Amino acid sequence: MKAKLIFSLPKDQVDFKLANDAGKMYLVLWEYNQWLRQTIKYAPDDLTDEQLAVYAECESQLLNMINENNVNLDI
């Protein structure tokens, strides 16, 4: 199967940029999610419980946003 996206440039420049950068955006989300998980799992000794809770809240919020928008980072 093949798929083709066609844009009328410069009118569709924003849509073209979004489509063109989607892979990079996916990678940023995946890496940020992994970084949060690793920071929480292997918390440095100098991280306070309060700071760890903030990391956990950030991870929870990110995962909620991902789920609410039907984004799958496990592809």
Q: What is the pLDDT of residues 20-29, one digit of tens each?
A: 999 999 999 9
Q: Give the separation between CA 42 and CA 39, rounded to whole angstroms.
A: 5
Name the burial class of residue 34, with classes exposed (0-12), middle (13-18) and buried (19+) by CB atoms within 10 angstroms of its CB. exposed
Q: Give the separation between CA 73 and CA 39, rounded to whole angstroms.
A: 18
Token readout for 5 is: 């996206």
- Alpha-carbon dihedral sign for residues 6, 10, 13, 15: negative
2 domain residue, yes or no: no
Once rounded to an integer, what is the mean pLDDT over residues 11-15? 97
- Look up the domain containing 35 and give its range: 30-75
24 domain residue, yes or no: no
* Residues 47-66: tens digit of each pLDDT: 999 999 999 999 999 999 99
6 domain residue, yes or no: no
What band does 74 get if pLDDT is binned at 50, 70 and 90? confident
Q: What is the pTM of this model?
A: 0.82
